[in-house]
Structure 1
C-alpha cells in the first residue's frame, strides 16, 4: 500500500494490516480517477451513514447471563433501503461489518437493484451454544437493532452461520414488536413464512452463471474443465454441483476441516453427503489430503474462493494456477493480490458481481412479500440468470472501454450509480 493511499486510512487502521474496511477504502481510491465530476462526492463512500453497536445480554441454559456484541451498519441508503445479511462468528469486528455493508452497496448497484448496502453481525461462535441459546441471542439482537431496520428501511438476510431458521426467529421477533406479521423484514426465510423458491442455492447459482460466461469468453470448454473450490457450504457446494452437471470436474476443495484433491475429479454428491454428516470435507473417503498451502497451487481452470474474506493475499497469489477466479465469498482477494493476479493474466470475476445471486433473489423475495404474489422456481431462475448476465456483459464492456479489470469496472459502474444518487439527493 502506497504512502498516498495510507493517507486515506482512518487513524485507527493499521496501514500494514488495514482489515476489511481498509481494503474497501483502497478499492475506492483505485477507482476514483474514473469518476469524473462525481469525484467531489467520493468521500461519502468512505463514511457509512449509520453504524450501530449493541450489547446483547442473554440468559444461558445453565442460568448464567452472557453478553455478546452485535453490529448493524448501513453504508448507503441513497438508492433504496439497506440490504445485507447478518453473520454469526467469533471473530466478527466492526471493520468487517463496515466493509461488508459497503460491498453490499456496490453489489446492489452493480446488478441494478433498488437497494442500498447494509450488514450485521454478532460476535458469537454458534458451535459453542445450543439452539435455544442461539434463538435467544437472535431475538435479543433484533430487539436491539429494531429501531433502524424495517421493510422500507433496512432488510437483513442470512450470511455466515445464519440460515432460514435464524431468519424465522428474526421475523417473529420483529413482528411481535410491530404487532402484525412482517414477512418482508428479512429475506432468506423458510418457504411457509414467505420465503422465495430458489433462494437457498441462489448465491451458488449466480457464481455458476457468471463463471460459465467468463469461461466462454476465455475459450474454456466446460466439458472436462477443472474447478477448485475453497469453502464447501451452501455457496461452494451449489456451485460444485452445477459445474459438474455441465461436465466440469471438481479437482480440489478446501474448508476449515482440511484440503482434499483428485486430479480425475471428486465425487461431488458423495462429498456433499459427507459434509452434511460431518460438517466438513476433511476425511472424506476416496480423496487425497493435501496441505492448505498446496490447495492454492493446484492446476485448475476455474478457482472459486467461497469462504471468508482476505483469503488470497500477496503470499499465495503468485502460486495460483488458474485461468479464472470467480469470487463466491465477500472480499476474498486483497488489493495487492489483485495486482499479482492481473499481472499473471488471471481473470477475476469480482465478488460484487459473482456472488450477487443471493441478494438478487432476496430482492425477488422482498418484492413477492410486498405484493403477496409468489413466483415459480423456474421464473426465479430465469429472472436471476437475465440480471446476472446483463450485469456481467455490462462490466466486460466497461472493462474494455477503460482497459481495466472486471473489479475496477464493477467499482466504476457501482460508484457512479451510488454517487449520482447522492448528488441528485443533495446534502
Structure 2
C-alpha cells in the first residue's frame, strides 16, 4: 500500500480497538474503489505542448455518488490523491451527506500558467474525466490552487462529451452558472463557526484566546477574518515566505492586503509559526505540517486542522502524550463540502434557494455534526480524532451491513 494512504488508513486501528465491530468496515476502506490516471495535453501560448499527469480517485461510494475537489499542484501524485479521497469518505459520513469520497489532481505548477492556459487545463481535465464526472456518479469541486473560474472551464470540458447534466457534476461554480454565494469562503468560515460552537466543550475561552494561523490562502484568510471579527486576537500569521507576529494582535485584512501588495514585512521564517505560544493554532496551509520531527516544538494547546492531514499520523502519539488536543480536519474543514452539497442539491431539485435559507441549512448541518461529535468525544475521553473516526466508521458500517456487504 502507498505510504501516505497506509498512514491514513492506519489511524482507523485505534477506532477498531475501541469498537471491534468495526473491523470489517476498516478492511473495506483499506483501498480505494478506483484510481484513474490520465495524461493531459495543453497548448501553451508560445505554441509548445505541455503534458501533465492527472488523477481522479473515487475512494468509496457506499453513501452515494463520490464527491471531492480537484487541485493543481506540482507535487500531486496518486498516493496523495488516494489519501485525500479516503479522508473525504470519512468526512461525508461524519456530516451525514449522501456522498462517498473522491479527490482529483493535476501535477502542474499552476502559477506559471496564463489565464488562457489555465482555462484550457481545467477544460481538458473535465473532458478527460467526463466518463466518471456526472451528478449521479462523481462530483468535482475547487481545491488547492483551483477557483470557480476553473470549475466553469471544467463544466465546459465535461459538456464536450456529455449533455446538460455537466453543471450538476461540478460545484463551486460561478453564480451565473448555478453556483451559490455561500460556497465562497465556506471552508475557513465553517472552521471558525465550529470552533466557536464547540469552545465550551474544548475548554476554550475564545474572547481571551491567542490564535496563530498557518496559511494565508482562501481557507486560512477566511478563518482569520472570521476569528478577528468575533473579537479573537490573531497574534501570528504565516505563509510559505515567512511569518508576521504581534502579541497585541494583527488585523488579518491589513496583513492580507500587504501580502497582495508585496509589502508584507515578515518578522520570522515560516516554520516559526509552530513554536508560537498560543491557545489555538490553525493549520490551513499544507498536509503534514506537524510531524514527529516538530511535534515537540508545537506550543499551542489546541490544534485546528483546516488543511487535510495537517497533522501527520507520526505526530499523533507525541501530541496525545503532551495533552495537546487536535480538532480533526474531517470536521473542521467540512464547511466547504456542506456548501457544495447545497449547490448540488439545487441542481438536483431544480429549485432556487435564497442565500438566507442556504446559510441556515449550512449552519444547521455543521452544528448538528459538531454536537454529535462532541458526544462521541466524551466516550473517547476527549480524543477528537478518535471520536471523528469512530462516528464515521459506525455510519459507514451500518450502511454496509444494511446493503448485505458483510454477509457470508
State the TM-score bracket (shorter-chain normalisation). Answer: over 0.9
With normalisation by structure 1, the TM-score equals 0.91
CA–CA separation in structure 2 for the residues paired with 1:266 and 1:401: 38
For residue 56 of structure 2, the aligned residue among 72, 75, 81 is 72
For residue 386 of structure 2, the aligned residue among 392, 401, 408 is 408
- Give yes or no for contact 1:98–1:119 (8 Å, CA) kept in 2: yes
Partner of 2:329: 351
CA–CA separation in structure 1 for the residues paired with 2:377 and 2:11: 16
Partner of 1:361: 339
What SS does the aligned partner of 2:164 have? coil
* 1:199 maps to 2:183: yes
What displacement does 1:181 show? 5.6
CA–CA separation in structure 1 for the residues paired with 2:83 and 2:182: 27
* 1:162 maps to 2:146: yes
Structure 1 alignment gaps of length 5 or more: 1-9
With normalisation by structure 2, the TM-score equals 0.95
Partner of 1:141: 125
What SS does the aligned partner of 1:86 have? strand
For residue 215 of structure 1, the aligned residue among 184, 190, 199 is 199
What displacement does 1:404 show? 5.4
- Give yes or no for contact 1:229–1:304 (8 Å, CA) kept in 2: yes
For residue 90 of structure 1, the aligned residue among 50, 74, 94 is 74
- Give yes or no for contact 1:214–1:349 (8 Å, CA) kept in 2: no
CA–CA separation in structure 2 for the residues paired with 1:66 and 1:316: 38
Measured at CA, do residues 321 and 213 of structure 1 come closer, stay the same or move farther in structure 2, by a change above 3 Å? Answer: farther
What displacement does 1:164 show? 0.3
- Give yes or no for contact 1:214–1:324 (8 Å, CA) kept in 2: no
For residue 297 of structure 1, the aligned residue among 275, 278, 289 is 275
- Give yes or no for contact 2:133–2:158 (8 Å, CA) kept in 1: no
Between stretches 68-77 and 30-39, larger displacement belongs to 30-39
Partner of 1:6: none
CA–CA separation in structure 2 for the residues paired with 1:183 and 1:101: 22
For residue 364 of structure 2, the aligned residue among 368, 386, 393 is 386
What displacement does 1:132 show? 1.2
- Give yes or no for contact 1:165–1:190 (8 Å, CA) kept in 2: yes
- Give yes or no for contact 1:368–1:374 (8 Å, CA) kept in 2: yes
What SS does the aligned partner of 1:332 have? coil
CA–CA separation in structure 1 for the residues paired with 2:22 and 2:15: 12
Structure 1 residue ranges (4+ consecutive) displaced by more than 4 angstroms after TM superposition: none
Structure 2 alignment gaps of length 5 or more: none
* 1:284 maps to 2:268: no
CA–CA separation in structure 2 for the residues paired with 1:331 and 1:236: 15
What displacement does 1:145 show? 1.1
What displacement does 1:366 show? 0.4
Between stretches 21-30 and 147-156, larger displacement belongs to 21-30
* 1:340 maps to 2:318: yes
What displacement does 1:52 show? 0.1
CA–CA separation in structure 2 for the residues paired with 1:405 and 1:207: 18
What SS does the aligned partner of 1:308 have? coil
Q: CA RMSD in A?
A: 1.6
Between stretches 81-90 and 40-49, larger displacement belongs to 40-49
Alpha-carbon displacement from aligned partner over 1:7-56 (angstroms, at most 9, x marks no partner): xxx2xx4xxxx3x3122121122322234334134211011111100011
Alpha-carbon displacement from aligned partner over 1:63-99 (angstroms, at most 9, x marks no partner): 1222110000000001010000000000001000000
What displacement does 1:134 show? 1.5
What SS does the aligned partner of 2:200 have? helix
Between stretches 156-165 and 299-308, larger displacement belongs to 299-308
What displacement does 1:403 show? 2.8
- Give yes or no for contact 1:210–1:349 (8 Å, CA) kept in 2: no
Alpha-carbon displacement from aligned partner over 1:241-266 (angstroms, at most 9, x marks no partner): 11111111111111112111111111
- Give yes or no for contact 2:37–2:54 (8 Å, CA) kept in 1: yes
Alignment of 1:7-46 (within 5 A): 10=1, 13=2, 18=3, 20-46=4-30
- Give yes or no for contact 2:124–2:154 (8 Å, CA) kept in 1: no
- Give yes or no for contact 2:125–2:157 (8 Å, CA) kept in 1: no
Partner of 1:7: none
* 1:62 maps to 2:36: no
CA–CA separation in structure 2 for the residues paired with 1:119 and 1:408: 23
